[in-house]
Amino acid sequence: MSKVSQARPPRYHHFILLVWEERDAEGRHIAWRFSLQDSQKEKRIGFKDLGELAAFLERWMESPSEKS
């Protein structure tokens, strides 16, 4: 009798994305900042730029566990 392999269900995870603009005293744009809040652990992670945010998400998606 052959053994039927069961596929692992897709991973789902909720992050709340916060985006805000930093400005100088004269109101000029300095940078966009980002943070993710883990909806399950209520943990918040800050990022200085979009590259850091993207790198974090890529690492998270490649990890085999639900760690963030």
Sign for the CA dihedral angle at 62, 41, 37, 7 comes to positive
3-state SS, one letter per residue, for the chain: CCCCCCCCCCCCCCEEEEEEEEECCCCCEEEEEEEEEECCCCCEEEECCHHHHHHHHHHHHHCCCCCC
Residues 15-35: pLDDT tens digits? Answer: 999 999 999 999 999 999 999
pLDDT of the residue at 68: 45
pTM of the model as a whole: 0.71
